Amino acid sequence: MSLTPRLSFLLPTRVRIRVVFLAVFGAILLGTIMFHVLEGWSILDSLYVTAQTVTTVGFGDLAPRTPLGRAFAVLFMMVSVGIVLYALTSTVQAIVHSELFATYGHSRKMSKMRDHFIICGAGRVGSHLIRNLSDANGTFLVIETDSAKVEALMDLGITVLPRDATLEETLREAGVQYARGLASCLPDDADNVYVVLTARDLNPNLHIVARAAEEQAESKLIRAGANRVVAPTIIGGHRMAMALTKPAVGDFLDSVTANHLELGFEQLEVDPGSTLVGRRLKESVIRSELNIVIVSIRRNDGEIIFNPSGETRIEGGDMLIAIGNAESLSRLTALSRGRVAQGKGVEV
């Protein structure tokens, strides 16, 4: 899902309010023009009478004299009063509905979340992460303090917690104890350190990725408990250097990340009960049938085997880093979890 509103039967709150106020403005404009034409009043007098009619004040100091003017006034009174009442009720309803949903609807939804991701901050880095997780249909929520960003995300149907991510009660409300992972994308390194420290204390098994604005903050974030630290400036520099010196490699990586080749990377943990356990790579269906390339294998003891040969045996608990198309990766995921036997196909 891109960051554009989905088709919905209900317009977003701010759009509904804008529409009803445009309707009121249109009614006032119509009344002013018609009274000016039918009664010959000045624009100011016509606007004055129109405002009296729309607001149902009716001072009575100016009244239509011509038959056409009076006929229009009768029709205009019924229509304009209806428009104003509709505008008022719609505005109040939209605001109350929005507040209630923000207070209770999102809280109820968050309380049921399990094995989800938490994104702290919806800035430049966070917005890209939100887009990627949305495209992958991942379960996640966003913690953000900027009201404009909160409203925009809510209009897209994204679960948002409008709180300060550095507060312990905010992370508890976001269900950090039951979360699968957390990304701290706040613009200030000190805030990211505080989020990482708090999240690690609340959930020792949480996988935490943190953004580092300055290179020297990386070690502090690691000591605070982050599993991975991403420094956009450093990564950007590496990618620019690769694009400059090794353009073919850069084009390949761009094609994979943008899914132009319909390929993707996946990490797969081999269950001890999987039929892959004990087999050599060349004996498995990974390459021959699924057409998947195993880039590396990480053993339970931390050993990493890069570009394993066909003679490498797969062990229970191995983490396979694979590249292939989405369907093949899904089949391999089921196979690594011991759902099916080799060569019998996988229904996913």
As a whole number of angstroms, the distance between CA 132 and CA 327 comes to 19
Residue positions counted in the chain: 348
Q: What is the pLDDT of residue 306?
A: 92
Tokens for 102? 């923000």
Q: What are the pLDDT digits (tens) for 57-66?
A: 877 788 888 8
- Compute the average pLDDT of residues 242-271: 80
Mean pLDDT of all residues in the chain?
84
Rounded (10°) angle between helices 189-202 and 217-224: 20
Instruction: Kindly tell me the burial class for residue 77, based on how many C-beta atoms sit within 10 Å of its own C-beta (0-12, 13-18, 19 or more).
Output: middle
As a whole number of angstroms, the distance between CA 174 and CA 1 comes to 22
Instruction: Kindly tell me the burial class for residue 232, based on how many C-beta atoms sit within 10 Å of its own C-beta (0-12, 13-18, 19 or more).
Output: middle
Residue type, 339: R
As a whole number of angstroms, the distance between CA 159 and CA 171 comes to 14
Give me the percent of the chain exceeding a pLDDT of 90: 39
Cα distances from 150 to residues 100, 117, 121, 122, in angstroms, run: 15, 17, 10, 9
As a whole number of angstroms, the distance between CA 42 and CA 58 comes to 18
User: 177 with 169: CB under 8 angstroms?
Assistant: no
Would the pTM count as exceeding 0.75?
A: no
User: 28 with 81: CB under 8 angstroms?
Assistant: no
Q: Which domains does the chain have, with CATH numbers?
A: 13-108 (1.10.287.70), 113-230 (3.40.50.720), 262-336 (3.30.70.1450)
Residue 20's pLDDT band (cuts 50, 70, 90): confident
Q: What is the pLDDT of residue 263?
A: 77
